[in-house]
Structure 1
Amino acid sequence: MTSPHDTPTLPRTFIRDLAPMTGQEVRLRGQILSRRDLGGLQFVTLRDGSGAVQCVSDGLGLDLPLPESSVEILGTVAPHPKQAGEVEVRMQAMRLISAAAEATPVELPKLSRVHPDTLLNHRAVTVRGLKERAVLRVQAELLAGFREALSGMGFTEISTPKIVEAGAEGGANLFSVDYFGEPAYLAQSPQLYKQMMVGAFERVFEVAPVFRGEQHNTSRHLTEYLSLDAELGFIDSEEDVMDVETEVLRVMLARVAERCGPELKLLEATLPQVPDRIPRIPLLEARALVEREFGHAVGGKDLDPEGERLLGEYFIREHGSDFVFVTQFPQAARPFYTHPAGEVDGVPVTRGFDLLLRGLEITSGGQRIHDPEMLRRSIEAYGLNPETLRGYAEVFRYGMPPHGGFAIGAERLTALLLGISNVRMARAFPRDRTRLQP
């Protein structure tokens, strides 16, 4: 091992760029994911921010540091002897940059054998695992695709407050904070603000965290998650909103397919195709279909998780679509700002919808109320305090266009696309009902 003060003579190469460099000398920097001695051969798996590669030393007798130590490796790129189309690096020298002080609490190459709670308790370290990083890299491209799609459609990115006077959706699932002696809350959604900004820009979107203080502890819920929100004006109905979301999803998945080939291969994930027109079914019809086809009676005002799963199964089987929009939600199942759509079988319904992917909800959306008098009546009917909504309601007195929008939960979308059963694993540092560390 050479001196840490040696001056390198080659520019740094990232692992993602090694494939076409067979025969060339390279200088790599990264962390040791794993190491082993086998006879006269020494093997190191080196990980940098772009990928991982096997490095081999023949007869050098290197003093290999602990895994996760930061090192620099000089070597020559060569074809991998056992993996066609892959390369390895034949080491000539290794320089220690920063030594790991002790072994990691779990072995990163063996994370698939570790209990999820242990993974999350040591998340600052386990997030370095190759599959764990791959999940978050896919998510990063989904976010970039969301921005790319909407910017290309003339949307403006906005930032809205996360400390608010009242919840966008009412209810008790709010986190309260002491705001200089006054009560305030963490935002459940940017909904009210993005509607206000439609009046300024017509088409807006935001990528930001939201907070839900619900008392659940399931594999599909987080108390803090990343919400991908969009809102657009001058629509004719919620159909326009669903059309925009369809195109947004198409761009997002195309970007992941183009840029995340190694990650998808590592995770053994197959992306769904986005149909030209995602199938749509009213909620009451969906409930009847699930009972007719599967014998599952859905209680309450919405689809239960099993009903969603069965509906997704039906549309995959009968229509070849992993996606389905569930429309015309009853008024009792939607927030006060959702535009009414008359009655169906005596039940007041709305222009609200959900989007299911592979049998799980990833989106809530719809057309919003834009008429000030209709909004006033709705606030009253929902038993909300008009004073706490005064700033929001004011904008509708000044010519708001018909508008609507949607919100996608980034972690849930990521998990469903990649076949991850626990949504916590689709966030770097998840927050749930019991977890505030790390």
Structure 2
Amino acid sequence: MEFMKGIQRKETVELADLLSGDYTGKTVSLNGAVHTIRDMGEVSFVILRKAEGLVQCVRERSVPVYRAGGGCAAATQEAADEGREIADGRLENTDNGPEIPSTELKEESTVTVMGIVSLEPRAPQGVEIRLTEIKVLSTPAEVLPIAVSKWKLNTSLETKLALRPITLRNPMERAKFRIQEGIVRGFRDFLHSQHFTEIRTPKIVARGAEGGSNVFRLDYFNKKAELGQSPQFYKQTMVGVYDRVFEAAPVFRAEKHNTTRHLNEYTSLDFEMGYIDGFEDVMAMETAMLQYVMKLLSEEYEKELLMLNVTLPDVSKIPAVTFKRAKELVSEKYSRPIRNPYDLEPEEENLIGRYFKEEFGSDFVFVTHYPSKKRPFYAMDDPRDPKYTLSFDLLFRGLEITTGGQRIHDYDAIIKKMEARGMDPEELASYLMIFKYGMPPHGGLGIGLERLTMRLLNEQNVRETTMFPRDVTRLEP
């Protein structure tokens, strides 16, 4: 009988271990994928790809290459005879199979290598491994259709997406999504520090929070259902339970847009907070969250930022302007007539971003008090002028990345607004239950993760910052 007692210590080391400096001059074992091989004759450079980056290994022609398996321990005995030790002080059981020709070591083979760590300032991480043995764990069945070992993929976006499982191995592509990881990590860590509780809400719902026709409809055991457009109803519900909640999860929009800014499935970073004094509390929380995220990226993702030549924006303060005034400002400065008084057109968003960059040096701007007719029924109207709502969008370099605001929390008030819009309250009885039995003043927001990443990295298409995009034409890979 065997029992699992937790993670067992492996004899292989990780890149972070090598960078600690504790292993210089020692024999270590390391696994990874062969990113590229540079054959220099008697010596070749084998570059391994690890999760944290690339590791340079130097192989002389005489260094053996084994197939994994077979129980041959000759290399281990040789290491013992020479008194060499691996990282944890124990000799490695290599369990090697037969030696194979060096030509079978190909790019994208996965390997375990053994060698001596030495300092080398010209190597990717400032260290290299002088190999004594290579064990091949697997080899690719075919030659790669695209050279992912190049620093940057000089190919079309369509090719990158069609070959996504392969192209994501490229260093620049990997760096994008490491930074995206940092954004989500910062979002989550900051909100935990502010006493938010992380929740999980259903994505198969009876009715979308936004309404309209842009929903994916499902046959749910002979009942009508939809894929959720937003966790709005559920996160409001959970404010009545935990006061402050957040979620990072997918949402779905059946919009037939095929633009550089739209996706049919994207990741929404949502939070909702109770006991607010006004929607400005929500804006202030987002500002502080962005400050935390940018600080985290600068401290722990510097390598990726340098690789992608990213300069982080200043979020020490973010200007706010009303919807009506924002339209007037760009109309006056850029001689653009106001065509739609109820919404912002993409060109207007871009000009608003340009205006606040030129006038205030800010890459961000909150646009507040959107017209009531363009906001959902649960948005609280401005008591001073009910034509507008206590809501906002956050624009980042001219692109809307956030929508938020204060919600109606009074039962009679939300019933009245629904009826004024011709809605039947009975259809949302389960949602209205939370107001019937008491809710605090509350508000929240949703952030489009892929759009935020796109603007941060100065990409021109949101698909560049989506691991596996879903749009009107793409369902695979």
Q: TM-score band, normalised by the shorter chain? A: over 0.9
- The range that moved more, 242-251 or 299-308, is 299-308
| Contact 1:66 1:102 survives alignment (8 Å) | no
Aligned to 2:451: 412
* 2:363 is the alignment partner of 1:361: no
Match of 1:107, as an amino acid?
A
SS state at 2:353 partner = helix
Aligned to 2:53: 51
5+ long unaligned stretches in structure 2: 1-8, 64-101
Aligned to 1:67: 107
Map Cα deviations across residues 98-143 of structure 1 (whole Å, 9 max, x no partner). 1111112211124521111111111112112212221112112211
Match of 2:282, as an amino acid?
V
SS state at 2:325 partner = helix
Question: 1 CA distance for matches of 2:123 and 2:347?
Answer: 42
Shift of 1:85: 7.2
Aligned to 1:376: 415
Match of 1:249, as an amino acid?
L
Aligned to 2:332: 292
Question: 2 CA distance for matches of 1:35 and 1:85?
Answer: 17
Shift of 1:235: 0.8
Aligned to 1:40: 42
| Contact 2:271 2:445 survives alignment (8 Å) | yes
The structure whose RCO (Cα within 8 Å, separation 6+) is larger is 1
Aligned to 1:194: 235
Aligned to 1:116: 157
Aligned to 1:98: 138
Question: 2 CA distance for matches of 1:101 and 1:318?
Answer: 57
Question: 1 CA distance for matches of 2:117 and 2:461?
Answer: 38
| Contact 1:79 1:85 survives alignment (8 Å) | no
- The range that moved more, 203-212 or 422-431, is 422-431
Q: Kindly report the root-mean-square deviation, in angstroms, between the aligned alpha carbons of the 2 structures.
A: 2.0
- The structure 1 residue matched to 2:428, chosen from 389, 393, 406, is 389
* 2:173 is the alignment partner of 1:127: no
5+ long unaligned stretches in structure 1: 1-8
| Contact 1:363 1:407 survives alignment (8 Å) | yes
Q: What is the number of residues matched between the two proteins? A: 427
SS state at 2:149 partner = helix
Question: 1 CA distance for matches of 2:123 and 2:113?
Answer: 22
Shift of 1:342: 4.3
Question: 1 CA distance for matches of 2:460 and 2:42?
Answer: 42
Percent identity over the alignment is 47
Match of 2:344, as an amino acid?
L
- The range that moved more, 93-102 or 310-319, is 310-319
Superposition misfits of 4+ residues, deviation over 6 angstroms: none
Question: 2 CA distance for matches of 1:207 and 1:119?
Answer: 26
Shift of 1:318: 1.9
Match of 2:462, as an amino acid?
V
SS state at 1:112 partner = coil
* 2:348 is the alignment partner of 1:307: yes
Describe the shift of the 1:348–1:342 C-alpha distance in structure 2 as closer, same or farther (beyond 3 A).
Answer: farther
The normalised TM-score by structure 2 is 0.85
Describe the shift of the 1:167–1:44 C-alpha distance in structure 2 as closer, same or farther (beyond 3 A).
Answer: same
Map Cα deviations across residues 303-353 of structure 1 (whole Å, 9 max, x no partner). 222211221122222212211100010112211110001466xx8100110
Aligned to 1:3: none
* 2:267 is the alignment partner of 1:241: no
Shift of 1:298: 4.1
Match of 1:129, as an amino acid?
N
Shift of 1:87: 2.5
Aligned to 2:98: none
Aligned to 1:4: none
Question: 1 CA distance for matches of 2:16 and 2:169?
Answer: 17
Shift of 1:64: 5.2
SS state at 2:288 partner = helix
Map Cα deviations across residues 43-62 of structure 1 (whole Å, 9 max, x no partner). 22210122112222234374
- The range that moved more, 33-42 or 59-68, is 59-68
| Contact 1:328 1:351 survives alignment (8 Å) | yes
| Contact 2:321 2:365 survives alignment (8 Å) | yes
Match of 1:258, as an amino acid?
E
Aligned to 2:11: 11
Aligned to 1:24: 26
Map Cα deviations across residues 22-55 of structure 1 (whole Å, 9 max, x no partner). 4333221000111121232212221012211222
Aligned to 1:327: 368
* 2:185 is the alignment partner of 1:185: no
Question: 1 CA distance for matches of 2:171 and 2:338?
Answer: 41
Match of 1:12, as an amino acid?
T
The normalised TM-score by structure 1 is 0.93
Question: 1 CA distance for matches of 2:472 and 2:384?
Answer: 38
